[in-house]
Chain A
Amino acid sequence: MIDKTYQSLERAVADVHDGATVMIGGFGNAGMPAQLIDALIAQGARELTIVNNNAGNGDTGLAALLAAKRVRKIICSFPRQTDSHHFDALYRAGEIELELTPQGNLAERIRAAGAGIGGFFTPTGYGTLLAEGKETRLIDGRHYVLEAPIHADFALIKAHRGDRWGNLVYRKTARNFGPIMAMAAKTTIAQVNEIAALGELDPEVIVTPGIFVQRVVKEAA
């Protein structure tokens, strides 16, 4: 019997290695798998490359991972916020590398990795600082920039319900990066509000099919 559910958050992240590329779902705090991040902090992996839309808010979740100095590099679209003080301090001290990418390019680079695309031409960013040094092409009268996929060793995402085959449904705008990150990582770990019995999730409304998910862990109350 296939059972992708894990009983503990700690076990679910036990094999994240030093230097791993880890995608973390969420847009701000919506969809951020805070308990998986806490488990990753306790686990101790270092020199991580993190892929997230932001660079942490306040003192919890991704911000706490940064504060613990576990992150070597972050790939994101919007690091600077009123409450991104942990990132700001590391960045100004030269202790973290930033790869800034427009949000839609970030999403499509993640999606491309999951879909087996080797790169793509996008109009976003053409003629700007964020396209400097990148290959460009004129296609049907429009300028495009070549962007590369982003692959990950692990994706930590948050979903509303998941079953033992790894099928997932999300809740409202907490869906955001979850479905595409699940596709782009070798090992996707989903923190869920509830474990559903197999068959309970309507096949017509499953958002992430279990093929993209390796581990499902119910969050602690």
Chain B
Amino acid sequence: MTIQNRYTRDQIAARVAQDIHEGAYVNLGIGLPTKVANYLPADREVFLHSENGLLGMGPAPAPGEEDEDLINAGKQPVTILTGGAYFHHGDSFAMMRGGHLDICVLGAFQVSQHGDLANWHTGAPDAIPAVGGAMDLAIGAKQVFVMMDHQTKTGESKVVQQCTYPLTGVACVNRIYTDLAVLDVTPHGLRVREMAPGLSLFDLQTVTAAPLLPPESGDPA
């Protein structure tokens, strides 16, 4: 079926940013999640963590101001905010594994109804595997948000009953933000929190390969 109104990637990023509170320690994964930083209000103090040893990460430097010793996890040049800190890899991953990060935002190939995450490997036999910090992030933050397209380019649901791609983490995702909806992973299953304008629960369920629970009364949907 054809869906008319989808959130753009920037709208998804802006929506995620709404759920990041003042004072939060946050890791934004490589790729789409980095867009979230563009939508954090200037008057909200949020600490961005980069796993290569930086807290208080700032935006990209002005052209000509790049420093090869100051990069983010995607190896792009960045800046450090006043009050930021550098640390080594052991400490950086202790911040994750030790439960000190409030939120991480990750991209995904698939998320299951139980919150299992697949985002590091397509499982293709000839693929060279690479995992980086994905598994550490998946289990490390207090809340794991996924932002992704609801469907693949060929129209298959990325929200699934069971992941078919190799897992990154088991039952680790708390909330899913897609171009069609915001879904909470609950002990009872996936609960719809919000839907794109004009979309019905029936329509959403039609393009989602896992059962959806209706929004709880009082939720804006």
A residues apposed to B, CB below 8 Å: 27-31, 53, 77-81, 87-88, 91-92, 98, 100-108, 110-111, 122-130, 143, 170-180, 207
Contacts and interface: CB of A to CB of B under 8 A. Distances in A.
Contacts of B54: 173
B93 A103 contact: yes
Nearest to B80: A172
B69 A171 contact: yes
B131 A177 contact: no
Contacts of A79: 128-130
B132 interface: yes
Given A53-B89, A79-B129, A104-B135, 7 more contacts: A77-B133, A102-B131, A102-B136, A104-B96, A124-B97, A126-B139, A128-B135
Interface in B167-197: 167-170
Interface in B120-166: 121, 126-136, 139-140, 166
B90 interface: yes
B16 interface: no
Interface of B: 50-54, 67-71, 75, 80, 86-90, 92-93, 96-97, 121, 126-136, 139-140, 166-170
Contact of A104 (B53, B70, B140): B140
Nearest to A122: B97
Given A174-B69, A175-B88, A103 B136 contact: yes
A91 B129 CA distance: 11
Contacts of A172: 67, 69-70, 80, 86
Nearest to A115: B90
A110 B90 CA distance: 8
A104 B87 CA distance: 14
Nearest to B92: A107
Contact of A175 (B75, B87, B126): B87
Contacts of A128: 135, 166-170
B170 A29 contact: no
A183 B215 CA distance: 53
A111 B102 CA distance: 24
Contacts of A129: 121, 166-167
Nearest to A207: B88
